[in-house]
Amino acid sequence: MRKPLEGVRVVDLTHVVAGPVASFTLGDLGAEVIKVEPPYRAAPAVATPPVAGAPDRPHNRVPLFNELNRSKLGIALDLSSGPGRDLLLRLVAVSDVVMENFSSRVLGNLRLEYEDLRAARPDIILVSMPAFGRSGPYRDRTAHGPGIDAMSGLSHLTGYGDGRPGKPGNFFCDYNAGLLAALATMAAVRHRRRTGEGQHVECAMLEGELQILGDALMDVTMNGRVRQPLGNRHPWMAPHGVYPCAGEDRWVALACRSDAEFAALCDVIERPELAHDPRYAALPARYRNQDALDALIGAWTRHRDEYEAMDALQRAGVAAGAVLDVGQLHADPQHVARRFFVPVAHPETGPAPLPRVAFRFARMSAEPERPAPCFAQHTDYVLRELLGMADAEVRELEQSGAVARDPRGSQEEGREVARK
Amino acid sequence: MPDGSALQGVRVVELVEGLAGAYCGKLLAGLGADVLKVEPPSGDSLRRAGPFPEDHPNPEASGLFLHLNPAKRSVTLAIETETGRRLLGRLLDTADVLVHDLAPGRARAIGLDDASLRNERPSLVAAAVTFFGSTGPYADFAGTEIVAQALSGYMSLTGDPDREPLKPYGYLAEYQAGLHAAVAVMAAVLARDATDEGDLADVSVTEAACFALGGPPQLAWWFDRTLKRNGTRLIGVGGRHPYPSTLRPCADGWVHAHSNNRNPELLAALVGDQWLASPEVLDAMTDRADEIDAVVDRWLADKTKWQAVAAAQEMRLPFTEVLTPAELLEDREGHLRSRGELVEVEHPVAGTVTQLGPPVHLGAGAWVSDRAPLLGEHTADVLCGTLGLTHDDLLRLRQAGVV
C-alpha cells in the first residue's frame, strides 16, 4: 500500500527517546529515514537487556532500541572526524530533512549548524528538538522528559491530592515532543514544496507540553487560582475514578457524565434505589458524597474481574474501561481487532509487536514494516547506491575510522566521544 | 494570514464536540489553515467548560475554549436538520479537510463515514477522532478520558506501587489523539498535493495514550515482565542504571532530581558526599535508590528549588524545579516571554487573554495564534461570502433555527 511520505529522505541524528519517536513516525509514514549512529551503539534511555539470540551482536537485540528505531535504515559515522563530517554533508546534499536532539553545544562543536548544512543543500530542513529552546535564559539547561514534566506544571497537577507531585507514565514528554516534531517536519516539507525555501524548525520539548495544560494556565490568569491534583476525580463528573476488582491490583475505571448514566450504573450494581436517594440522585449532591458512593460501587466491582465489570457497565451505556496492565495489552480484543501492535520481523530477534501510530488510513498505510537496522546495516546502500562511491573510496573511509561496520570500543569510550 | 504558512489556502471544516478534535484543529490553524469550526446554534460544548473569568460562566469566555480555538472561524449550523446538513455539504464542497468526532453510527447516518466520503468526496482529507476507533468490539463503547487512559495501560504506569492506578492531570490522552489526527491530516495533505486523492484517518484516543507508553509493552512481550507504576521514579530500570530520576522535597517545594547519566559520579560532587561516588554505589545506583534519596534529601533540606536547580545545572546535572502553573506563568527568568510563548490577545468578551504561543518554532512561515472566535462570528461571512447565500436567506435560516 502507498505511504504518504514516499520520496522524502530524512537524515536522523537523534538519540534517546523524543527524537527517535519523531523520526520513526516519519518512517512509518513512508519517509526514507537514515539513522546516523556514532561508531558505537549508544544505550537507549532505559537500558534493557538484549533478547536471547546469537551470543555476539547483543546490541542488535535491545527491544527498546528496536522499537524506537523501526522504519529506519542505519549507518555509523564518526562525525567528529573530518572525513565523517564530509560524508554526512554529502548525505545531506541528497536529503530533504536533518533531525537532531543533541544538547545545545554539540552541533556547533561538530561545525554542523544550520548554515553549514545549507552550504551542502540550500533548501535543507533542519529540525532541532532542544529541551527548552535554542534561545532564552534556559537555552543551556539540560533536562530529560520527566524533568520537563516538572517544569511544565504537569507533575504538580498529577497526584493523589496529598501534597506530593506525581509522574505521568514513563516518557510522556518525549512522545508528545516527538509527534509535534513529526508534524512540524511535514509542515516544513510542504512549505518548501510551495516556496522552494528550507528552514530551521525548533521543537522545544517544554513548549510542546504546555499545550496540554491550557485550562490550568487559564485558571491562573483568569482567577489567580492554582489548581491542585484531583487524584482520579473530575471537576464535574461523579462518580469518576477506579474501583477495585477481583484479584490483585485489578481495577475498573468508570465515569458518569449525567444523572441518566448514574441511574443506569445503579441498575448494573443492583442498587437501583440509589438513583432516587437524595444523597446521590443529582450531580451536586453526588459530587459531595463521592467517598460514600465510591464504597457502594466498590462493593459491587470487587467481586468481578475488570473485563466483566467493564462489559456489564458498557452494556448499560456507562463509560467504563478495564485498567489494563502492560502485560494485558497485546491480547486486548480491541487491540487485536485493530492490529494496534504490528508484528515486524527483525533478522536477529524474530518478530516483535510494535505499537503503531494511533490512526489508520482508509487507502494509504502508516504501519511499521521495516525493522530497526542492525548496526551499520545499510552502509553499502548509503555509500554506494545513494552517494555513488567506488570500492576504493569506501575502503578508505573504513580505514580512516570515519565509517564503522561494527561498534567500536565500549560504551565508556563512546561517552568520551560524545563529550568532546 | 502570514504569507507562506505551510497550510495557507487549505480549508478545514471542524465538526467536533470533544477536546481531541478541537486540538487537532488548533494545530492546523496554527500552521495557517483556514479552520471553520462548525458549532451547533447553542454553541460548542467546550464553551460550557471552565475556567471562566471570575468563575462567571459565559460561553464566550471559557478558558478551555479560548485555549483550544485560536485563529479559527466560527460558523453555526444545526446539522440535525436537513437544511443544516445540506449547507454542511456545500461547505465541504469548498473544503480540503474535514475533522470530526462523530460516533461511527452517527457518521454513517449523516453520510460522513468512510464509504460515503470515499464515493462522494474522493479528494477530501478527513480525520475521525473517537475514543476507541471506528472498528473493533469497543467501537460503540461509551468513552471518556479516564476510560481511555485505563484501557490504554497508561494508568497502570502512573501512581504509587501500593496504591490505586492514577490518572495524570487533565486530558492527556485526548490531546495526544488530537496530535495524531493533525499528523495524519498533514501527511494526507502532502500525499494529496501529488495525487489529488484524499483519505480518511480513523483516530483512536485510547491508542494515542497506548502509543505514548514508551516501551513497557515491548518488555512484557519479550521478557514476560509486567512493569507497573513506580511512584516518581523511572519505570523499567534496575541495578546499575544511573539514579536518581525522581521528585524530591526541598525547603520550599519539590525538585526533579536526575543523575547526569554519562557522569553519574557528579552527584557526589553536587551534594558533597563521596559515598555517592564509591564503586559500591555506582555499581548499584537504582538498587540503592532509597539510600540515595536520603542523601539527596539532606542536601535539599535547606535549599529552595531555585537554589538547588541552579547549583545542579551549573554542574550539568539535569535537575529542574517542580513548578505550579502560577510559577510557570510568573516565568522568573523571562524564558517563556523571551520566546514568545506567552501571548496577550484582546478578546471582545473575555478581555485581555494570555494565550500560549507556538508549540513549535518554525523558521519560515509564522505560527498563527489570533484570538478564538465568538459563537457564530463568521456565519454571515462564510454562508454569504463563500457559499453565496443572500442576507434574506440568512435571515430565514436564523428564523428556522438552522444558524
How many CB atoms are located within 10 Å of the residue B82 CB?
Answer: 10
Same domain membership, residue A310 and residue A166: no
Q: Where are the domains of chain B?
A: 11-211+339-399, 245-322
Q: Which of A272, A301, A331 is the last residue of a domain?
A: A331
Nearest by CB to B191, from A232, A358, A364: name it: A364
ipTM value of the model? Answer: 0.97
A149 touches chain B (CB under 8 A): yes
Cell 520537563 belongs to which residue? A148
Same domain, yes or no, for A312 and A345?
no
β pairing state of A32-37 and A72-77: parallel
Chain B residue closest to A185 (CA)?
Answer: B362
Touching check for B384 and chain A: CB below 8 Å? no
For Cα atoms B331, B337, B341, give the angle at the middle one, nearest 5 degrees. Answer: 105
Asked if the Cβ–Cβ distance from B179 to A179 is below 8 Å, we say yes
Q: What is the nearest CA distance from A393 to chain B, expressed in angstroms?
A: 35
Pick from B340, B314, B358, B338: which is nearest to A136 by CA?
A: B338
Are residues A112 and A64 located together in one domain of the fold?
yes
Same domain, A163 and A302: no
- Nearest CB to A201; choose among B256, B334, B361: B361
Give the Å distances, CA to CA, from A288 to A30, A283, B55: 52, 9, 19
- The DSSP call for residue B155 is G
Cβ of B361 within 8 Å of Cβ of A203? The answer is yes
CB A213 within 8 A of CB A150: no
Cβ of A155 within 8 Å of Cβ of B4? The answer is no
With CA atoms as reference, the chain A residue closest to B256 would be: A147
Which residues of chain A from 17 to 46 reach within 8 Å of chain B, CB to CB?
Answer: 17, 25, 29, 46
Q: How much is the pLDDT for B3?
A: 60
- Chain-centroid distance of CA A114 in Å reads 25
Residues of chain B with C-beta less than 8 angstroms from the C-beta of A27: none
Residue A3, domain member (yes or no): no
The rounded distance, in Å, linking the Cα atoms of A404 and A407 is 7
**Which residue among A116, A149, A174, A294 is the active-site one?**
A174
Angle at B24 (CA atoms; ends B381, A3), nearest 5 degrees: 115
Q: What confidence score (pLDDT) does residue B76 get?
A: 97
| Residues A368 and A321 occupy one common structural domain | no
Nearest CB partner across the interface for A222, out of B53, B152, B341:
B53
**Residues A11-15: contacts with CB within 8 Å, 24+ apart?**
A11/A36, A11/A88, A11/A91, A11/A92, A11/A95, A11/A97, A11/A98, A11/A99, A12/A36, A12/A72, A12/A99, A13/A79, A13/A98, A13/A99, A13/A100, A13/A102, A14/A99, A14/A100, A14/A101, A14/A129, A15/A42, A15/A101, A15/A102
Cα A399 from Cα B255, distance rounded (Å): 48
**Residue A48: closest C-alpha in chain B:** B237
Cis peptide bond prior to B244, omega within 30° of 0: yes
Cell digits for B58? 459565559
Residue where the block lists cell 447565500? B389
**Residues A178, A169: Cα–Cα separation, whole Å:** 16
If we measure between CA atoms, which residue out of B202, B251, B254 comes closest to residue B231? B254
pLDDT of residue B33: 97
HSE on the CB side for A197, CA within 13 Å? 16
Q: What is the pLDDT of residue A57?
A: 86
| Total number of domains constituting chain A | 2
Residue A28 in any domain: the answer is: yes
A58 min Cα distance to partner chain B (Å): 14
Burial class (CB in 10 A: 0-12, 13-18, 19+), A137: middle
Residues 6+ apart with CB under 8 A from A147: A131, B256, B258, B318, B319, B320
Please indicate whether the domains covering B11-211+339-399 and B245-322 agree at the CATH topology level: no
**Number of C-beta neighbours around residue B36 at 10 A:** 26
CA distance B128 to B28: 15
Considering only CB atoms, which chain B residues are within 8 Å of A25?
183
Select the residue from B12, B125, B222, B285 to test the A interface by mutation, using most A Cβ atoms within 10 A.
Answer: B222
List CB contacts of B34: < 8 A, sequence separation 6 or more. Answer: B1, B9, B10, B11, B12, B73
Domain boundary among A278, A305, A331: A331
Q: All 3 cell numbers of residue A109?
A: 562543536
Report the C-alpha gap between B230 and A338 in whole angstroms.
30
Cell of residue A236, nine digits:
464535574
Is residue A22 a part of any domain in this protein? yes
Nearest CA in chain B to A240: B146
Closest of A183, A182, A206, A191 to residue A134, by C-alpha = A206
| Residue A162 sits in the same domain as residue A139 | yes
3-state secondary structure of A354: strand
Provide the 8-state DSSP code for A247. S
Dihedral pair phi/psi, residue A372, rounded to 5°: -60, 150
Q: State the amino acid at position A277 in one-letter form.
A: D
Q: What is the CATH number of the domain that holds A294?
A: 3.30.1540.10
- Interfacial A residues in 193-212 facing B (CB < 8 Å): 193-195, 197-204, 207-208, 210-212
- The per-residue pLDDT string of chain B (403 residues; one tens digit each, 9 = 90 and over) reads 446 689 999 999 999 999 999 999 999 999 999 999 999 999 999 999 989 999 999 999 999 999 999 999 999 999 999 999 999 999 999 999 999 999 999 999 999 998 999 999 999 999 999 999 999 999 999 999 999 999 999 999 999 999 999 999 999 999 999 999 999 999 999 999 999 999 999 999 999 999 999 889 998 999 988 999 999 999 987 778 899 999 999 999 999 999 998 899 999 999 999 999 999 999 999 999 999 999 999 999 999 999 999 999 999 999 999 999 999 999 999 999 999 999 999 999 999 999 999 999 999 888 988 999 999 999 999 999 999 999 999 999 999 999 9
- Kindly give the pairing relationship between strand A199-202 and strand B320-321: unpaired
- Place A410 in a pLDDT band, splitting at 50, 70 and 90: low
Report whether CATH 3.90.226.10 matches the domain B245-322. Answer: no
Chain A residue with the nearest C-alpha to that of B139: A334
Coil, strand, or helix at residue A245?
A: coil
pLDDT at A243: 98
Residues 271-310 of B with CB under 8 A from A: none
Helix (H) or strand (E) holding B344: strand B342-347
Angle, nearest 10°, between helix axes B145-152 and B172-195? 80
Beta-bridge partner residues of A355: A341
Residues of A in contact with B200 (CB under 8 A): 361-363
Q: What is the pLDDT of residues A231-289, one digit of tens each?
A: 999 999 999 999 999 999 999 999 999 999 999 999 999 999 999 999 999 999 999 99
Please report residues of B whose CB lies closer than 8 A to that of A363: 197, 199-200
A254: closest CA among A319, A305, A194? A319
Q: Looking at A312, A331, A350, which one is the last position of a domain? A: A331
Task: Report if residue A83 sits inside a domain.
Answer: yes
Examine the domain organization and report whether A146 and A247 are in the same domain: no
| pLDDT number for residue A231 | 97
Nearest to A53 by CA among B241, B222, B79: B222
Instruction: Indicate if A174 belongs to the active site.
Output: yes
> Inter-chain contact B325–A153, Cβ cutoff 8 Å?
yes
Shared domain check, A388 and A249: no
- Looking at the partner chain, which of B221, B318, B338 has a beta carbon nearest the beta carbon of A143? B318
In this prediction, residue A46 carries a pLDDT of 54
Say whether B142 and A352 touch across the interface (CB within 8 A): no
Which pLDDT score, from 0 to 100, does residue A416 have?
40
A338-396 pLDDT, tens digit each: 999 999 999 999 999 999 999 999 999 999 999 999 999 999 999 999 999 999 999 99
DSSP states of A295-343 as a string? HHHHHHHTTS-HHHHHHHHHHTT-EEEE---TTTGGG-HHHHHHT-EEE
Q: pLDDT (tens digit, 9 = 90+) per residue, A71-84? A: 999 999 999 999 99
Q: Which residue's entry shows cell 453520510?
A: B111
> Which pLDDT tens digit goes with each residue over A144-199?
999 999 999 999 999 999 999 999 999 999 999 999 999 999 999 999 999 999 99
The span from the CA of A222 to the CA of A211, in Å, is 17
Mean pLDDT confidence for A115-128: 98
Q: Which residue has the cell 561496520?
A: A405
Q: Looking at the partner chain, which of A141, A153, A325 has a beta carbon nearest the beta carbon of B156?
A: A325
Same domain, A52 and A98: yes
Calculate how close chain B gets to A59, using CA atoms only, in Å.
Answer: 15
Pairing of strands A240-244, A199-202: unpaired
Whether residue A287 sits in one domain with residue A408 = no
CB pairs under 8 A, 24+ apart, for B46-53?
A: B46/B17, B46/B18, B46/B19, B46/B22, B47/B375, B49/A215, B50/A215, B50/A219, B50/A235, B51/A215, B51/A218, B51/A219, B51/A222, B51/A223, B51/A225, B52/A222, B53/A222, B53/A223, B53/B350, B53/B351
Query: Contact B370/B345 with Cβ under 8 angstroms?
Result: yes
Q: How far is CA B385 from CA A357, B13, B91, B148, in A?
A: 39, 16, 12, 41
- Tell me the chain B residues in contact with residue A340 when contact means C-beta distances shorter than 8 Å: 207, 210
CB contact under 8 A, B234 and A220: no
Contact B150, B131 (CB under 8 A): no
Structural domain span for residue A252: 240-331
Do residues A135 and A55 share a domain? yes
Contacts of B164 in chain A (CB under 8 A): 232, 241-242, 244, 251
Same domain, A194 and A274: no
d(CA B209, CA B207): 5
| CATH number of residue A385's parent domain | 3.40.50.10540
CA-CA-CA-CA torsion sign (A82, A83, A84, A87): positive
Query: 10 Å Cβ neighbour count for B337?
Result: 14
Fold adopted by B11-211+339-399: Rossmann fold (3.40.50)
Is the model's pLDDT at A413 over the cut of 60? no
